[in-house]
Amino acid sequence: MCSPIATRVCSVIDSISRLSETEIIMIMTNVMIAYNSEYQCNKCLKRYMGDNKKQAEHQRLKGCDGERDFLVAKHKKANKFNFLPNLIFTKCPANWNNGAFQSLLSLYNEYKNGVNYFGSSPADTPAKYFEAMNLIDTLVNNEIEVKQDMAKKLNKLRTKPRGK
């Protein structure tokens, strides 16, 4: 059995070396925004240009006022990754947009090319950074896979013979 001091030290180390649930959600939503134009405010609201009434109603329904809200899904099919929370957004995920997490996305390509801003040794790099980059890598690969699956389905529909 651990002493109370050892338990406290372990919890402090864990909190600074692992991504919190909120940080995971922030990374997830920023990847969603980057890969899905429906969550990019300028593209989303462009549909309602010239109709202020419809635009205001759309903004109210999607929560464009910055309101953050989501539900944790009860079923396992919400996403295929066991380590990610299964989220169903009830307000637009763009409300979780955060400059710090956007900068992580911009560092991702450099990370993939082997650039390390923390020193020459991986031992100099915080574990939390590696965890964030691995999460981004998983999410980006999933977004690419989803887009490829959609393209294949669309292609099948286009090439399917009509009639019968």
User: In whole angstroms, what is the distance from residue 117 CA to residue 120 CA?
Assistant: 8
Domain ranges of the chain: 4-159
pLDDT in tens, the chain (164 residues): 556 665 666 566 666 667 887 888 888 888 888 888 777 877 877 777 788 888 888 777 777 776 666 655 444 444 444 445 566 777 777 777 777 787 888 888 888 888 888 777 777 788 888 888 988 998 889 888 888 888 888 888 888 776 65
Distance CA 66, CA 91 (A): 9
- Does the model's pTM come out above 0.75? no
Question: What is the C-alpha separation between 72 and 86, in angstroms, rounded?
Answer: 6
